[in-house]
Amino acid sequence: MEQIKLNHYTGEINQEIRITGSKSESNRLLILQQRYPNLKIENLSNSDDSNLMLKALASKEGVINIGHAGTTMRFLTSLLATKEGSDVILTGSGRMKERPIGILVDALRTLGADITYVENDGFAPLRIKGTKLKGGAVRINGNVSSQYISSLLLVAPSLEQGITLTFEGAITSVPYIQMTLGLLNELGIESSFEGQVIRVQPKERIADTLVTVESDWSSASYYYSLVALSESGKISLSAYKEKSLQGDAVLELLYRQFGVKSTFVNNTLTLEKETGFENPSLVEFDLIKAPDIAQTIAVTCFGMGIACNLTGLHTLKIKETDRLVALEQELTKLGADIRVTNESLHLEAATKINKDVVIATYQDHRMAMAFAPLLLKTSILIDEYKVVSKSYPTFWDDFSNFQTN
């Protein structure tokens, strides 16, 4: 197993870093570009997920394997279902075959899609025969992954009747749904989100459009953590918008509780540790709208000796790994007193941090990056560290500034 050792860093934190475009925005725009080839995209993500999306979209093969890329799996399922005359088997890694997709398949079948399960009902691989879907009304549980919902919304403009999507029960991950609708709006596609109903109107053509992808806020979270764990850190990140479509932009608000001040000047986001900041004894966050930053926040709290209660995390059970169990196991190695349920994490304030612990990553890019800022507190080792390429291929290059004193 390949490892990287992060030595305890006690030097200055003062850097300028440019982060790749958001893979969430990039992959949505790449799907839309299939329908509207006069859409031009700048600052496209260089992540594995976006490269896999590009490769899959260009594929002429009868089998498309998307590896660990969950977004690519969900988005391609709907796109291929609407691609008249195609007949493709869509598959992925062993872990991808364990991640449920039945809710999306059922919704597409309601619209007339021809999709069958190759192995196990409710899971990839899928055989998808593309056909002309009229669209219309579909119902879906509100508490499912937003990727299922965005997958439907992205193909909605290409359907004769568009889509009227009605949610049953409470809706989770609303920011990611709003991101999708915001991108549709940028292309001049009419939509509405009122109460439990989303409507997307059909649109045959769009005007020539250039969209610049904002840098990834999830990737910014690791620098928020680094500054929080520092005494007087300052990091400038580009390119970020003060009014962002990304749900993880809530970092700016949440990390105020860790003494991190955020300022925006000309799409540059500067993070700075407040002088004389006193740690709270406990923080409590409902992350139902931004679950992808849970790992970063949990590690920040542990490193700062702050107790935390994090809720709204039920979707973490079906990510690249079961992220709640993974956090419990790896933080426990470091000396944490931690307890998790199926939807929450509860951490007691740490009094010590074990050194030279090997952090397992479970083929999960966010596990590797979330633990890296702890080098300000101790020396650690990260297993399978190259997994970061899934979302942030240059992470270790950018982080190398903090590995020598």
What are the residue numbers of the active site? 292
How many Å apart are CA 314 and CA 370, to the nearest integer?
A: 19
Which of helix, strand or coil describes residue 14?
strand
Which residue pairs from 348-353 have beta carbons closer than 8 angstroms and sit at least 24 positions apart in sequence? 348/307, 349/281, 349/282, 349/305, 349/306, 349/307, 350/302, 350/303, 350/305, 351/305, 353/302, 353/303, 353/377, 353/378
Residue type, 342: N
- Nearest CA to 269 out of 254, 257, 287, 251 is that of 251
Q: 18 has which bridge partners?
A: 238
Paired with 165 in beta bridges are 138, 198
Per the document, the length of the chain is: 405
The burial of 48, by beta-carbon neighbours within 10 Å (0-12 exposed, 13-18 middle, 19 or more buried), is given as buried
Contact 29, 77 (CB under 8 A): no
Cα distances (Å, whole numbers) of residue 83 to 155, 212, 353: 10, 27, 53
Residues 162 and 198: their CA atoms lie apart, in Å, by 11
Q: Which two tokens stand for residue 84?
A: 């008249």
Partners of 311 in beta bridges: 286
